[in-house]
Amino acid sequence: MLNKLKTLFWFLKNPTYISQIFQVLKRRNNATLENTTLEATAWCEHAAVSQEAALHALFAGKQIIDISVNFLNEMKEAQLKADSTPVKMGGAGATSFLYNIVLHSGAKKIIETGVAYGWSSLAILLAIKDTEGAKLISNDMPYINMDNDDFVGCVVSESLNHKWELQRLPDVKGIPLALKKFNQEIDLCHYDSDKSYTGRTWASPLLWAALNPGGYFVSDDINDNLAFKHFCESMNRTPVIIKHMDKYVGVIIK
């Protein structure tokens, strides 16, 4: 009860994000599907391949670049920034995998949901830094009761800001706004925000509809529930899946 009261008080102090409450309440309608981690993990384990194999399947003949080697100084500087923050917001994720997808796909209009420290943002921005006309719009809602607002995206170098726009909104407001800014046409989306079954099944069709033919849909933590699996089936797509640490990332092409 105390945690619920703290959460309610946080939303009252931050009315911009109140619409997210209604998304959370909708999860009750999908209660059984929300709790499908075991089934989703088993599916991911069966389908997962190495990052190298996944990138070869997606971009045969392209050179695979290790972001930690090719951008050693940038990644070291980013890690120092992350380590110096008073709040902890998770690890870096599969940054090299994402970097290669963005680089080799030639994506210019990119949407990212979920930012935290900004590791994925950094990977995307490094991939498009020399691409004329390329831009990333990232949407993020601060962690509830964690006071992390001032550190969202902190690992992104200021030298990359001209390619980046950071929105501070819940998905239900931020995703439609970002799509509007891109005139409902994007080349790539990286989904890493509301990981609930309800959140994914709301956002995925919206982002997919805006993807240009040949565009890439990248989704993190797809083993949390069956939402990504069900979405792939509804779109008649076979995903490329990798395991990073103890989580899985999925990719489908429109």
Query: What residue segments make up the domains of the chain, in order of their start?
Result: 2-253
pLDDT of residue 150: 79
Q: Looking at the predicted structure, is the pLDDT value of residue 4 above 70?
A: no
CB 37, CB 247: distance < 8 Å? no
Query: What is the CATH number that goes with domain 2-253?
Result: 3.40.50.150
Q: Looking at the predicted structure, is the pLDDT value of residue 207 above 80?
A: yes
**Structural tokens at position 223:** 């083993």
The DSSP letter of residue 134 is -
CB 110, CB 207: distance < 8 Å? no
Name residue, tokens 């619409």.
19
Q: Looking at the predicted structure, is the pLDDT value of residue 146 above 70?
A: no
Percentage of the chain exceeding pLDDT 90:
76
Dist. CA 71–CA 165, nearest whole Å: 22
Neighbours of 150 (CB within 10 A): 10
DSSP-assigned letters across all residues of 135-179: EEEEE--PPTTS--GGGTTTTS-GGGGGGEEEE-S-HHHHHHHHH
Mean local confidence (pLDDT), 131-145: 87
For the ranges 142-151, 161-170, 178-187, 233-242, the lowest mean pLDDT is seen at 142-151
CB 121, CB 115: distance < 8 Å? yes
Q: Looking at the predicted structure, is the pLDDT value of residue 174 above 90?
A: yes
Mean local confidence (pLDDT), 170-179: 95
pLDDT of residue 144: 64
Q: Looking at the predicted structure, is the pLDDT value of residue 45 above 90?
A: yes
pLDDT band at 31 (very low <50, low <70, confident <90, very high): confident
CB 198, CB 30: distance < 8 Å? yes
CB 207, CB 186: distance < 8 Å? yes
Dist. CA 56–CA 78, nearest whole Å: 28
Mean local confidence (pLDDT), 67-90: 90
More confident: 19 or 71:
71
Q: Looking at the predicted structure, is the pLDDT value of residue 14 above 80?
A: no
pLDDT of residue 240: 98
pLDDT of residue 61: 87
pLDDT band at 145 (very low <50, low <70, confident <90, very high): low
